[in-house]
């Protein structure tokens, strides 16, 4: 009976054990099948990455991110980083299959002896699983699931792939995700530039990122790093000399802001443009190379603030909260934007007046009317009537425009009319060449939303400073409009690149554009733009002041650089009568260019005259002309003009 009972007991025990085994196996198979999705998130690793924006000299402008993470491939991670990480976190990493039974047993024994949890046994693979797809709750089911996923990962991925994912995903404090990000953030170094002590600080952070954050608790961080170094020495992975040198090292730790946004107006525009081609621009880990020069951006910002402060000095009653300005600096031949400042203080107003504000250009638009006339056969010596006229253009409303400085001069050359910015001469010229013709030509150039009436001669429509800079490029660029561009190329984390090329629009022949440039040189040399003159460098440009001094412009260029400056009140209320293009905006052009030339001396200081431009003596001046714009055969007839009570009229 005893033997029968023993046999029965063994069969029952075997059945129970078999049942437990089958149940555990079934549970394991079930859980294994359930973790496929969680594992796939790690296998098909697609982390949120930081997009970095750089200036033309390779200087970082800003980091853009949801999670601040710069990706690094395994082959670009120094072996010493791997050694330090494995030494302190998982010495048997390259031997186990995702779970370390020996470590688990050792941890259980220590926990039982202590009567509490004193030692964990998670492998690096398990840590990756816990951080990426599971919660940190201390439940047996979660731990089992963690182990199962870890084993699945070890079957699907190589050890190197697991380490690559771990080191790119891990949070290292201070908002830094991934070891490359932390190296740049804490030490401003690439991984291959780190010292052993710096590496030890980084690999020691995952245990408690906030506690060991070297910007907050340097003493604790160094102590943890020394534990890493000691462990490496105990394993024989570093020599005693390296060990001793690393222990006494005191690395320099930087407490940088995460975004490091040095040019917010630029960043806003870059993201707006880049997002048209890349929807994930903020999380895709792109490198954006721009045409911007941060030094030039700072110069432009300082010049804009200078002009702003000068306005406030002249008018103690000015409302500093609504007064503002914008400045755009480009290389007109390439379209590259060197600087773009959309306001005097981004912190107070992020509204970008350089790109979003639609302001009337006033007289700064006149060169485009004169260019059309030149292309139709007029020359700088041709004459326009600076006389009073009344226009109604088929409506009951009568328009009697006036010159800004008053008075009438009769027939004057186009050069003289532009030099003095004579409104009446320009309006009469537009009427003479034909409103329909001019409107068609302006539309072909690309101007939009311009009114089809004679007021366009005075710039009676809205345009942004950046858009205006585009059209002004036709003069220094020999008759070709070049679209201003901020982005040169965008590179994704796989090193695939997209190159941005500016659009170009041919408008007129180089010699015709030169005639206009030569006329605008006169504006600066002895006209309304004299405040923009530079010593030893030719400058061409045009001032602009709208009705009631609401807007003040100066659009100018040297043979190499183009600058558009605007000031006004954000609510379109008038500035003081003394504020205009010549007094308000032109000095800012000069202020900026003097700073620019100190840093970047101009290689070309005079405008190059293209073939097909000829010279002649005319009314005491040496004038320029072309075959298309020849010397006038005869002067205009003064007999067409008579005097009335209000001045000279037809």
Q: Which residues are catalytic?
A: 89, 363
Cα–Cα distance, 286 to 383 (Å, whole number)? 56
Among residues 359, 175, 351, 181, the alpha carbon closest in space to that of 264 is found at 351
Cα-Cα end-to-end distance for the chain: 139
Cα–Cα distance, 145 to 147 (Å, whole number)? 5
Cα dihedral angle (29, 33, 34, 36), rounded to 10 degrees?
140
Q: Are 564 and 304 in contact (CB under 8 A)?
A: no
Cα dihedral angle (11, 14, 15, 16), rounded to 10 degrees?
130
Q: How many CB atoms lie within 10 A of CB 290?
A: 28
Among residues 459, 273, 464, 274, the alpha carbon closest in space to that of 354 is found at 464
* Residue 562 token pair: 């183009």
Among residues 455, 447, 637, the alpha carbon closest in space to that of 546 is found at 455
Among residues 241, 21, 36, 244, the alpha carbon closest in space to that of 148 is found at 36
Cα–Cα distance, 209 to 619 (Å, whole number)? 80
CA atoms within 13 A on the CB side of 628: 17
What are the two backbone dihedrals, phi and then psi, of residue 496, each rounded to the nearest 5 degrees? -90, 135
Q: Are 473 and 334 in contact (CB under 8 A)?
A: no
Strand bridging mode 68-69 / 336-341: unpaired
Among residues 617, 613, 614, the alpha carbon closest in space to that of 512 is found at 613
Compute CA distances 500 → 126, 256, 485, 486, 491, whole Å.
Answer: 44, 31, 8, 9, 11
Element (H, E) at 61: strand 60-64
Longest dimension (CA), the chain: 147
């Amino acid at each position: 009976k005893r033997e029968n009972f023993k046999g029965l007991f063994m069969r029952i025990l075997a059945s129970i054990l078999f049942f437990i085994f089958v149940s555990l196996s079934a549970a394991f198979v079930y859980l294994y099948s359930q973790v496929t999705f969680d594992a796939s998130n790690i296998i098909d690793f697609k982390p949120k990455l930081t997009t970095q924006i750089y200036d033309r000299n390779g200087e970082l402008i800003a980091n853009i991110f949801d999670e601040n993470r710069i990706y690094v491939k395994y082959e670009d991670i120094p072996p010493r980083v791997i050694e330090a990480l494995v030494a302190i976190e998982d010495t048997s990493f390259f031997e186990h299959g995702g779970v370390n039974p020996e470590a688990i047993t050792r941890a259980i024994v220590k926990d039982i002896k202590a009567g509490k949890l004193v030692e964990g046994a998670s492998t690096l693979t398990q840590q990756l699983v816990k951080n990426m797809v599971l919660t940190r709750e201390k439940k047996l089911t979660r731990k089992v699931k963690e182990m199962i996923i870890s084993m699945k990962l070890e079957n699907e991925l190589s050890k190197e792939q697991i380490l690559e994912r771990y080191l790119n995903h891990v949070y290292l404090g201070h908002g830094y995700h991934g070891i490359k990000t932390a190296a740049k953030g804490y030490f401003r170094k690439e991984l291959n530039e780190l010292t052993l002590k710096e590496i030890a600080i980084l690999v020691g952070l995952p245990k408690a990122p906030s506690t060991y954050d070297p910007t907050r608790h340097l003493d604790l961080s160094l102590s943890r790093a020394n534990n890493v170094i000691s462990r490496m020495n105990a394993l024989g992975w570093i020599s005693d000399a390296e060990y001793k040198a690393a222990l006494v090292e005191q690395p320099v730790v930087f407490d940088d802001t995460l975004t490091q946004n040095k040019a917010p107006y630029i960043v806003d525009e870059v993201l707006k443009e880049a997002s048209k081609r890349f929807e994930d621009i903020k999380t895709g880990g792109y490198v954006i190379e721009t045409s911007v020069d941060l030094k030039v951006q700072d110069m432009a910002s300082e010049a804009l603030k200078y002009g702003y402060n000068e306005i406030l000095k002249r008018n103690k009653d000015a409302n500093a909260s609504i007064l503002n300005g914008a400045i755009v600096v480009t290389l007109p031949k390439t379209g590259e934007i060197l600087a773009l400042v959309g306001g005097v203080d981004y912190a107070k107003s992020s509204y970008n007046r350089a790109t979003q504000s639609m302001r009337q250009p006033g007289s700064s638009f006149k060169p485009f009317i004169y260019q059309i006339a030149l292309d139709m056969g007029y020359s700088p010596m041709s004459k326009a009537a600076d006389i009073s006229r009344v226009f109604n253009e088929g409506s009951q409303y009568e328009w009697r425009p006036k010159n800004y400085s008053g008075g009438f001069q009769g027939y004057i050359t186009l050069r003289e009319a532009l030099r003095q910015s004579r409104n009446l001469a320009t309006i009469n010229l537009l009427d003479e060449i034909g409103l329909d013709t001019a409107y068609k030509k302006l539309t072909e150039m690309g101007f939009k939303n311009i009114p089809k009436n004679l007021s366009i001669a005075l710039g009676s429509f809205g345009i942004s400073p950046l858009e205006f800079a585009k059209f002004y490029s036709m003069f220094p660029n020999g008759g070709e409009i070049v679209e201003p561009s901020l982005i040169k190329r965008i590179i994704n984390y796989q090193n695939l690149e997209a190159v941005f090329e500016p659009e170009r629009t041919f408008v007129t022949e180089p010699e015709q554009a030169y005639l206009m440039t030569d006329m605008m040189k006169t504006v600066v040399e002895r006209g309304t733009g004299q405040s923009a003159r530079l010593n030893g460098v030719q400058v061409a440009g045009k001032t602009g002041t709208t009705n009631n001094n609401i807007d003040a412009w100066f659009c100018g260029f040297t043979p190499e650089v183009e600058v558009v400056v605007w000031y006004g009140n954000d609510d379109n209320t008038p500035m003081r009568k003394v504020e205009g293009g010549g007094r308000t905006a032109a000095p800012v052009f000069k202020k900026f260019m003097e700073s620019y030339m100190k840093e970047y001396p101009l290689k070309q200081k005079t405008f190059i005259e293209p073939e097909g431009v000829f010279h002649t003596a005319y009314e005491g001046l040496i004038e320029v002309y072309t075959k298309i714009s020849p010397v006038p055969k005869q002067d205009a007839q003064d007999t067409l003009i008579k005097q009335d009570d209000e001045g000279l009229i037809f």
